[in-house]
């Protein structure tokens, strides 16, 4: 009667206790009828199936628990199975299914990862690892385990492009260059798409450079350029590596090609052009090549202050003085500091005067120089050559003399400025200042014989009558009313004589 009672939907009135009763109960609980009863029967009979089959029986019980809706019990049973046999697919698959039903995303990720290694099909294994990675990265925000899962997915089936590139980006961000190279090498074995081959070779070259293997990096960059001769990154990195190895000709060639690259970013072209020009000029001693490259940049509208600075230097080195003054006349307006602008104007002035032998063409440079430094010797000396219009020259000289006088007020013993005052005052026919300057030069050590004649002539030309007359109050103050003396009597005598 008890055995028959077990066939009722409500199950047994009491659990069977003897081995025979438990096995009979299992036989009377067929699959698909009452999963809760079958689960209990399987768990009760499990010890009688032997140690090898115990986990399988427990897994079957867990499946019936899950079918009966007892998700937590199913998860606990599947957990026992995977702990006892971690390599068995059935346990992990069951745990994954139960965890999905329970909404336990952490356990889903764990089971999917375990299945990713347990299954024999690489594609299926990769998909399972991808699922684990997605949960860990996007839902649980666990980048460490998420990256591991993503890389394992790529390793299981490196043909899966989206997974591979996401894994590669994470490895690159973590600067694990050796691991990146290993992953790239596996991908290279299965790829024949030209654009991706270029990308993979480029990634490998960069990783090799970061590991310090510059020669290997260069060989890989040669492969990149063989596939894509105008690869911007390969040109830049080749130039950098050649430069670090002291191979200046190769470095300049790579950098110059990048500077001329029509679709490279503007900033990249400018930086590479300046670097190539510096290598040509400083390292190779070929300013002509530097000048040619910089002029190309200028013609293409890629001309900044930094480019113009290099352009002026290269033009001077190449002795292209017309180009040099053209650029310097721009720099004398563009430089940030007054001293920098003055230096540019002064150099342009000197080139016009000494190299091109056209001092009259230096008016703009001289004007700008004397605007920044009104008493600049080079600027004033050029004006004193009388190569400019008289009125223009006079304006520049007068402003220069004002500055000279102000500076001499601070330091009267500045011999260079005293000499400049003597020259400027003579040109402006300021006889008083000329006389004072010549006298000061004698005091400062100039041979009197060189200036005595002119000083005598100036002395004859100058007025000797008093410039200002003393009035009565001034005379009284000089006379000293309170303490009269001989000088007082003389002054009073002069006053009386004037009245008579």
Q: Which H or E element spans position 105?
A: helix 105-118
CB hemisphere CA count around 386 (13 angstroms): 3
Cβ 167 vs Cβ 153: under 8 Å: yes
Tokens of 179: 């691991």
Whether the CA torsion 148, 150, 151, 157 is positive or negative: it is: positive
- CB distance 310 to 330 below 8 Å: no
Cα–Cα–Cα angle for 376, 424, 340, nearest 5°?
10
Report the length, in residues, of the chain.
500
* Inter-CA distances, 15 with 90, 123, 266, Å: 28, 46, 83
Cα–Cα nearest to 455, from 385, 446, 416: 446
**Degrees (nearest 5) of the Cα angle 15, 19, 22?**
40
List pLDDT tens digits, range 162-186: 999 999 999 999 999 999 999 999 9
Tens digit of pLDDT at every position of the chain (500 positions): 333 333 344 444 456 666 666 667 666 777 777 788 877 777 766 666 666 667 787 878 888 888 888 899 889 988 988 988 888 898 899 999 999 999 999 999 999 999 999 998 999 999 999 999 999 999 999 999 999 999 999 989 999 999 999 999 999 999 999 999 999 999 999 999 999 999 999 999 999 999 999 999 999 999 999 999 999 999 999 999 999 999 999 999 999 999 999 999 999 999 999 999 999 999 999 999 999 999 999 999 999 999 999 999 999 999 999 999 999 999 999 999 999 999 999 999 999 999 999 999 999 999 999 999 999 999 999 999 999 999 999 999 999 999 999 999 999 989 999 999 999 999 999 888 888 888 888 888 888 777 777 777 776 776 555 555 556 666 566 555 555 555 555 556 655 655 65
C-alpha distances out from residue 443 to 90, 405, 434, Å: 112, 17, 14
Question: What single DSSP character describes residue 355?
Answer: I
Question: H or E segment at 254?
Answer: helix 248-259
Residue 81 is encoded by which pair of tokens? 């199975």
Calculate the CA 324 to chain-centre distance: 30
147/419 Cα distance (integer angstroms): 79
Residues 38-77 have pLDDT tens digits of 777 777 666 666 666 677 878 788 888 888 888 998 899 8
| DSSP assignment of 144-192 | HHHHHHHHHHHHH-TT-HHHHHHHHHHHHHTT-HHHHHHHHHHHHTT--
Angle at 327 between CA 323 and CA 330, to 5 degrees: 150
Yes or no: say if 26 and 42 are a contact pair by the CB < 8 Å rule.
yes
- Enter the tokens of residue 366: 């001289």
- Residues 400 and 423: their CA atoms lie apart, in Å, by 11
Instruction: Please tell me what DSSP assigns to residue 362.
Output: G
Rg (CA), the chain: 49
Taking 3-state DSSP, the helix, strand and coil percentages for the chain, each rounded to the nearest 5, stand at 75, 0, 25
Strand extents, DSSP E, 410-454: none
Between CA 309 and CA 270 the distance in angstroms is 13
């Amino acid at each position: 009667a008890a055995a028959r009672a077990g066939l009722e939907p409500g199950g047994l009135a009491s659990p069977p206790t003897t081995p025979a009763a438990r096995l009979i109960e299992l036989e009377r609980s067929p699959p698909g009828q009452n999963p809760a009863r079958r689960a209990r029967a399987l768990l009760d009979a499990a010890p009688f199936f032997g140690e090898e089959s115990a986990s399988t029986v427990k897994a079957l019980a867990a499946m019936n628990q899950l079918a009966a809706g007892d998700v937590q019990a199913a998860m606990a049973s599947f957990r026992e199975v995977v702990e006892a046999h971690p390599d068995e697919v059935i346990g992990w698959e069951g745990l994954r299914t139960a965890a999905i039903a329970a909404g336990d995303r952490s356990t889903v990720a764990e089971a999917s990862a375990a299945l990713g290694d347990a299954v024999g099909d690489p594609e299926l294994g990769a998909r399972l690892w991808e699922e684990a990675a997605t949960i860990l990265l996007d839902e649980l925000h666990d980048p460490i385990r998420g990256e591991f899962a993503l890389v394992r997915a790529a390793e299981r089936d490196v043909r899966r492009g989206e997974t591979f590139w996401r894994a590669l980006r994470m490895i690159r961000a973590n600067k694990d260059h050796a691991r990146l190279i290993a992953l790239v090498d596996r991908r290279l074995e299965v790829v024949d798409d030209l654009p991706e081959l270029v990308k993979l070779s480029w990634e490998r070259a960069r990783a090799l450079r970061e590991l310090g293997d510059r020669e290997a990096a260069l060989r890989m960059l040669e492969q990149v350029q063989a596939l894509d001769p105008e690869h911007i990154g390969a040109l830049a990195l080749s130039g950098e590596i050649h430069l670090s190895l002291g191979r200046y000709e190769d470095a300049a060639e790579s950098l110059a090609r990048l500077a001329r690259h029509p679709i490279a970013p503007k900033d990249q072209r400018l930086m590479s052009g300046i670097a190539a020009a510096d290598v040509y000029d400083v390292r190779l001693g070929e300013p002509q090549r530097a000048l040619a490259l910089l002029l190309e940049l200028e013609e293409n509208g890629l001309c900044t202050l930094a480019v113009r600075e290099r352009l002026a230097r290269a033009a001077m080195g190449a002795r292209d003085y017309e180009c040099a003054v053209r650029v310097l006349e721009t720099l004398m307006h563009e430089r940030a500091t007054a001293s920098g602008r003055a230096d540019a104007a002064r150099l342009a002035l000197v080139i016009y005067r000494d190299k091109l032998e056209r001092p009259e063409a230096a008016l703009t440079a001289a004007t700008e120089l004397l605007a920044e430094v009104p008493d600049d010797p080079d600027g004033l000396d050029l004006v004193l050559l009388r190569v400019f219009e008289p009125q223009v020259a006079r304006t520049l000289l007068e402003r220069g003399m004002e500055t000279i006088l102000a500076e001499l007020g601070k330091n009267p013993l500045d011999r260079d400025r005293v000499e400049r005052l003597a020259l400027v005052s003579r040109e402006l026919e300021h006889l008083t200042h000329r006389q004072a300057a010549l006298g000061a030069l004698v005091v400062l050590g100039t041979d009197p014989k060189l200036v005595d004649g002119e000083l005598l002539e100036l002395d004859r030309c100058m007025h000797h009558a008093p410039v200002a007359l003393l009035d009565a109050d001034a005379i009284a103050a000089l006379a000293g009313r309170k303490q009269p003396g001989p000088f007082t009597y003389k002054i009073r005598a002069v006053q009386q004589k004037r009245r008579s």
